[in-house]
Chains A and B, each alone.
Chain A
Amino acid sequence: MRWSLKWLGLGAVIAACVGYLVVSATGSSAEYYQTVGEMRGHGGSSDVRVLGTVQNDVVRSDGGLHVRFTAAQDGQTMPVDYRGTVPDIFRPGIQVVVDGHMGSDGVFHARTLEAKCPSKFSSAQSQGTPTG
């Protein structure tokens, strides 16, 4: 017994709709993910996500809601400026992922700052994102 064209047609229409949704959503929200080293090579003003290690020059102000620090990776460094809640485990030496853009002042302005969890976090299939 063959399935009639009606069902195949319906399936094709739904698949096309979903395909369009996925492609358009990807196009409008995908960002490059790179380390500080790679970032220096590419530049550009669009939003990117950058991975780096927090250096020893963290300056907190505004009661802790504003931080400036240098992120480094692969021998390259990048100053970062972030306003918002800082993750609990944020401190020099940990890896962070910042999402934002490189300003004309040469400072990376982060919209979000996420801390990579310490390796012991791997214990347990943890749920949830410890983001700022």
Chain B
Amino acid sequence: MLLAELGGAFLLASLALVALSAVAGVAAGRGDDVRLAAVGRRAFYAGGVGLAAASATLLVALLSRDFTIAYVFEHSDRSLSAPLTAAAFYGGQEGSLLYWALLLAAIGSVSLAAGAAASVRLTAYANAVLAGIIAFFLVVMVFVASPFALLPVTPADGLGLNPLLRDGGMLIHPPFLLAGYSAFAVPFAFAVAALLAGRQDAAWVAQTRRYALVAWGLQSVGLTLGMWWAYHVLGWGGYWGWDPVENAALMPWLATTAYIHSAQVQERRGTLRAWNYGLVIAAFLLSILGTFLVRSGILPSVHSFAVSPLGPWFFGFLVAAMVVSGAALARRSGQLRSPEPAEAAVSREGAFLLQNVLLVALTAAVLWGTLLPLLSGMTGRELVVGAPYYERAGAPIMLALLALLAIGPMLPWRRVQGGWLKLLRWQLGSAALALAGLLAGGVRQPGALVALPLVAAGLITCLVEYGRGAAFARRLAGPWPIAAARVLARNRRRYGAYLAHAGILVVAAGLIGSHVWQQSRQVTLRPGESVTVGSHTLTYQGMSAQNAGDHGELVARLRLGDETLEPARLTYPSLGGQALTRVAIRSTPLDDVYVVLAGADGSTVALTVFVNPLVTWIWVGGALLVAGVLLGNLVRAEPELERAPTPLGVAAAVR
């Protein structure tokens, strides 16, 4: 009871503070007033402290099992372990709003503190935008969906957590996705601020590059963990189903991927100004759109979301953000005319440009597929598209992007001197070699024959770049390992990027392999019988049943070589007999043997067996990608070596 009132009071105090901060920010921006700007920032920090206090209160309520609070009742029970109970903080609707606002306040505070020294006006407007976004979340939490709402009667125990969600992957992937969304509000805020302030330089790009990368890294982790969870827990043999919920997370990631590349073109060449504003705004709006779609339940999804009053609120916020950022962009459009994007199409700029257009096209294709039920429902019968649509529309675009991963980094800025065939000799050679190897190995699927050589060529590109660095280090004084480490450290941004590229390529290899060569069989076996899928033979040995606390377990034993696989089926009587599959997976670098116990009849078992080639590489590639982001992003100052030649006189803007 006391906790609920305390939490509510913290939220109200935060709302008052961020509202004050937003007003002070706008006033400081208009009047270029240093003192007011400081007031705005301090109010923002204080609002963040209020949010932290509210979050701490909710955590205490959860851990102390305060079932007077509806949120605690709905998302935990007495049998739930402490870590899972704590995770309920962001597990439910109201709590996830609080978590989102808290993260935004934290990362926003860092960006404002760092930006204040660089530019008063820009940062003051950014402060106003960030405070406005947090104010929206607080209004929703105070008036519509409070995490501290009380129940009329205090129940003895809570409703608990669905067993599907009692898993480590579930514990950590949503917070990463939400953190990614909230981090991307920072570039958005600085972009809108630059438009409001009428700044024409790329200061906002330079100031927010790191936040965009952080957001992108967090989103990448969230997506990878989400796939991992789906693959290991859900037991349908796959990791991505093109569900609206997944698309909602994918679209902002795609737009951010485009932006972190096009930002470099603006930093180096001073061009693509309006485009970059557009991308940053689009990425943020897509993350809000995703939240709206997910929360409103207006799309047919296998995830039925609790019908909540949040849908219209998020829709209103989406429209407001669209109108404000669109108007700001339109007002400045006359001043944003950029120089030619590139002198020659075959150049680094040209590759970035093509990559951007392709990523935007891919985002648009995913958006179209996601919104089709809504759009067709307005004009007649509701239409839906599934995986075949996304594969047909998306695969050619993804192949073109793979080719760019091989070619783009090799092209010099401005224009190619000499023949570009010579420039790409390693890539062409490795692709040809890979193709020959695949053909010799008996591969005939056109998808694999095109995509895997492209992956090989792309990996060669990354190796060539690392090789150049190593060769350069060899010419430096001192022992080679130390020289190499110095070259790496001085060019972290570049080598981080190529490591991330390698990660994406490795992920692509995993996606292609598991897509093209997946095999599956559904069988019923009596003890002693075997089934062969691909090159693997499984022998069913027997079954055992046991009782494990709140659920019963049925475990089948299968022999695979000298290993034993034990897929299981868990039944929860307390949840109306809900069953839960525990998949047995034997992973090797070559393939996964993935066994699902579908059912049992006496000692006869029904099994679904998948052989999923190369899946392990999806997780390895995801880890490489994140390592690349960490390597490239944990840079204090941009080192001298990396400063670009600035042909268009944008040196000041780069700084």
A residues with CB within 8 A of B: 1, 3-4, 6-7, 10-11, 14-15, 18, 21-22, 24-26, 28-34, 38, 42, 49, 51, 60, 62-65, 83-86, 88-89, 91, 95, 97, 99, 114-132
Contacts and interface: CB of A to CB of B under 8 A. Distances in A.
Interface residues of B, number: 92
A121 B167 CA distance: 13
B386 interface: yes
Contact of B341 (A3, A121, A130): A3
B164 A29 contact: no
B304 A117 contact: yes
From A34, A127, A131, residue with most partner B Cβ within 10 Å: A127
Nearest to B387: A29
Nearest 7 A/B pairs, CB to CB: A64-B599, A128-B230, A127-B226, A63-B606, A129-B241, A25-B392, A25-B393
B306 A128 contact: no
Given A24-B392, A26-B393, 13 more contacts: A22-B365, A22-B393, A29-B389, A30-B384, A83-B522, A86-B598, A88-B235, A88-B579, A97-B300, A97-B302, A120-B162, A125-B245, A126-B226
Q: Interface residues of A: mostly helix, strand, loop or mixed?
A: mixed
Contacts of B229: 127-128
Contacts of A95: 304
B368 A22 contact: yes
Contacts of A30: 372, 376, 383-385, 389
Contacts of A24: 392
B365 A117 contact: no
B579 A29 contact: no
A116 B233 CA distance: 16
Contact of B236 (A3, A63, A122, A131): A131
Interface stretch (B8-16, B114-122, B169-177, B432-440): B169-177
Given A3-B340, A24-B392, A123-B88, A89 B579 contact: yes
B607 to A, nearest CB: 8
Contact of B300 (A51, A62, A119): A51
A39 to B, nearest CB: 11
B91 interface: yes
18 contacts: A14-B354, A25-B392, A25-B393, A26-B385, A30-B376, A31-B386, A32-B383, A33-B300, A62-B606, A64-B599, A65-B524, A116-B302, A122-B304, A122-B305, A125-B96, A125-B245, A126-B303, A127-B226
Given A21-B396, A88-B164, A88-B235, A129 B302 contact: yes
Contact of B246 (A33, A34, A117, A127): A127
B174 A124 contact: yes
Contact of A114 (B249, B302, B389, B522): B302
Contacts of B239: 128
Contact of B397 (A11, A18, A64, A115): A18
A64 B596 CA distance: 12
B345 interface: yes
A120 B302 contact: no
A67 B443 CA distance: 37
Interface string B292-303: 001000001011
A121 B303 contact: yes
Interface string B220-246: 000101110111011110111111011
B606 A121 contact: no
Nearest to A88: B579
A2 to B, nearest CB: 8
B598 A85 contact: yes
B461 interface: no
A29 B303 contact: no
Contacts of B165: 121, 123-124, 126
A67 B506 CA distance: 39
Contact of B580 (A21, A65, A88, A119): A88
Interface in B351-391: 354, 357-358, 361, 364-365, 368-369, 372-373, 376, 381-386, 388-390
B249 A18 contact: no
A64 B606 contact: yes
Nearest to B368: A22
From A21, A29, A49, residue with most partner B Cβ within 10 Å: A29
Contact of A26 (B249, B372, B579): B372
Contacts of B393: 21-22, 25-26
A119 B74 CA distance: 11
Nearest to B299: A33
Given A95-B304, A127-B173, A129-B241, A122 B93 contact: yes
Contacts of A15: 361
Given A30-B384, A64-B599, A123 B92 contact: yes
Given A22-B393, A129-B246, A122 B606 contact: no
A92 B345 CA distance: 60
A124 B393 CA distance: 30
B492 interface: no
A9 to B, nearest CB: 11
From B236, B239, B381, B396, residue with most partner A Cβ within 10 Å: B236
Contacts of A127: 173, 177, 223, 225-227, 229-230, 245-246, 249
B161 interface: yes
A121 B239 CA distance: 18
Nearest to B178: A125
A29 B227 contact: no
Given A124-B91, A128-B227, A89 B578 contact: yes
B563 interface: no
B587 interface: no
A63 B523 CA distance: 9
Contacts of B341: 3, 7
A14 B361 contact: yes
Given A62-B606, A128-B246, A123 B599 contact: no
B152 interface: no
From B170, B225, B358, B596, residue with most partner A Cβ within 10 Å: B170
A123 B332 CA distance: 42
Interface in B595-645: 596, 598-601, 604-606, 608
B241 A131 contact: yes
B392 A29 contact: yes
A69 B340 CA distance: 63
Contacts of A10: 345
B356 to A, nearest CB: 11
A7 B340 contact: yes
Nearest to A126: B303
B430 interface: no
B234 A129 contact: yes
Interface string B564-586: 00000000000011111100000
Nearest to A30: B383
Contact of A130 (B164, B372, B600): B164
Nearest to A83: B522
